[in-house]
A and B are shown apart, each in its own frame.
Chain A
Amino acid sequence: MTLAVIHAGLTVRSLLRRRVPVAVLVLLPIALYLASHDTVGRSVRALVFGISWAVSTVALFATLAARELEPGLWLAGHRRRSLSAGRTAGLLALALVLSAGFWAVVALDQPVRSLAAVALDFAVTAAVAVAFGTAVGALVSAELEGALVLFLFAGLQAVANPFDAWTRALPFWSSRELGTWAIDGPAQGSLAAGALHAAAVVALCVAAAAVGTWRHRRVPSAP
């Protein structure tokens, strides 16, 4: 088994042993879903919102935790790229399994135009959330700071009126757009726009994470 695979597995194991993140991961989306259960559109969008926030948080925690192990592993001769690849793969796998679970809930519970489209929405959201959470983790120094940043973005996302142009600057605009596409059909939401936006956000996050990692390495810890 390669290092990246082992690292992925241990990332997930470490996360699943933390009670709060696991609870957030599972309960937050479900709670939001149940709170808006009456309308198909609102409930699915609430679920997606919950997934984006919860997965970002978990990715944030994992990235910060990895900072402790990375110096030693890097000195052992391993490239940073392979380490972050392992961690990201683990997070992505966890997020996709989670999304699959939520998708099953929707499939059983709600009449939806296209289950496949909903699945795509969830998957893209999970991927963007992993990238976003990792980027924030790379840029901040502590979990609380990172959680507050995510809270800020979640708040903005929640109050955003989809018809305002500025909302496209938000990282999860694509989730919303794809959600609209999945529920209301291609006339209302654009698959292409959503996919493009998601790809752009992921690219931006990867760049931001690189900057953050570089910056972090120049900051001393307890000299």
Chain B
Amino acid sequence: MNDADWLAALDHELTLRGVSAAERAEAVLEAETHLADTGPGAAARDLFGPADRYADDLARAAGAPGHRAAPGVTEAETCLLRADSVAKAYRGRPALRPSSLAVAPGQVVALVGPNGAGKSTLLRLLAGLEQPDAGSVDRRVAAGWVPQAGGLDPYLRPVEHVELFGVARGLSRADARREGGRLAAHLAWDLAGAPVAGRLSGGTAQKLRMVLALVGSPRLLLADEPYQGLDADSTRRFWDLLWSVCEAGAGAVVSSHDPQVLRRADTVLELEPAAEGAR
């Protein structure tokens, strides 16, 4: 990685850690000048270490909202969501084997498994949209919900959706609109000008679902294969947004196939199909 890439990565990593724009610019500039003063022969990575590690130290020093909570630390008081051996069957056919997980602030739990393994079922149980047949779910906070499909009114515009969800989370209408626009901008989408939800393309509708789940800064996010239907750039933007939300202290449970996610998630829960020959 050359110096220019390293500096760009530093800027990115600082953003993810909630460092203000002004401090970020100064930090990157100082590093750039230091590199210039050092002259050729030493790379940024040698002088400063990996960009994310350096960003960690800088962010902590600057008192930014910052770094992810240590994984594995899940005290009862700070646990956002806990599921103990939840299982579910539909009409006698098992859909989910007994599964357990816990989510602390800043943690990302990835649910992986083939189709039919019960990822969607588990997410619905975690959300409380359905009751488990066995075990219990303890959800302490309000959550954002990103379903695989649906969740929208085809005759309302995205702006109207955002107002509704934002106000539901306690924002004023104007704040909701503003925050929705900002979130959409992260996903490279102009929300204000979009037509009614029924006329959105699949990928854009997915972006709307994400914005609705994140507006009002919920402390927990539950997402069912949210990147489906998104192109590579939008997928990357989605994950960046998710990581930055978690860096700011939210917890998330996301079902995924993406190997990149598996590396960065704090916990990976692998589900196996409960029923023989399911899907």
Contact = CB atoms under 8 A, between A and B. Distances in A.
Contacts of B128: 75
Contacts of A220: 90, 95, 121, 124, 130
Interface string A53-86: 0000000000001101101110111100000000
Interface string A1-42: 111001100100111011000000000000000000000000
A67 to B, nearest CB: 9
B51 interface: no
- Main SS at interface, chain A: helix
Contact of A71 (B118, B147, B161): B147
Nearest to B129: A71
A218 B173 contact: no
B179 interface: no
Interface stretch (B149-157, B237-245, B259-267): B149-157
B213 interface: yes
Contacts of A218: 130-131
Interface stretch (B33-41, B102-110, B162-170): B162-170
B17 to A, nearest CB: 26
Nearest to B120: A223
Interface stretch (B58-66, B137-145, B183-191): B137-145
B168 A73 contact: yes
Given A6-B163, A6-B164, A17-B196, A76 B216 contact: yes
Given A71-B127, A71-B151, A223-B90, A10 B167 contact: no
A72 B145 contact: yes
The listed residue with most B CB atoms (<10 A of its CB), out of A18, A65, A76, A222, is A76
Given A68-B150, A221-B150, A76 B142 contact: yes
B152 A69 contact: yes
B129 A10 contact: no
A7 B184 CA distance: 22
A78 B129 CA distance: 13
A107 to B, nearest CB: 33
Nearest to A18: B155
B212 interface: yes
A7 B164 contact: yes
B218 A76 contact: yes
Contacts of B149: 222
B32 to A, nearest CB: 43
A68 B209 CA distance: 11
Interface residues of A, number: 28
Contacts of B120: 222-223
A216 to B, nearest CB: 10
Contacts of A221: 150
Contact of A10 (B147, B156, B169, B212): B156
Given A75-B128, A220-B90, A220-B130, A65 B155 contact: yes
Given A68-B151, A220-B121, A76 B144 contact: yes
Interface string B91-124: 0000100000000000000000000001011001
B224 to A, nearest CB: 10
A1 B212 contact: no
B230 to A, nearest CB: 19
B52 interface: no
B160 interface: yes
The listed residue with most A CB atoms (<10 A of its CB), out of B124, B153, B154, B169, is B153
Nearest to B222: A75
A10 B156 CA distance: 8
Contacts of B148: 222
A217 B155 contact: no
A75 B144 contact: yes
Contact of B155 (A2, A6, A17): A17
6 contacts: A3-B164, A10-B164, A72-B144, A72-B147, A222-B149, A223-B120
Interface of B: 90, 95, 118, 120-121, 124, 127-131, 142-145, 147-156, 160-161, 163-165, 167-169, 173, 196, 212-213, 216, 218, 222
Given A1-B173, A13-B156, A223-B90, 7 more contacts: A3-B164, A10-B160, A17-B196, A69-B164, A72-B145, A76-B169, A218-B131
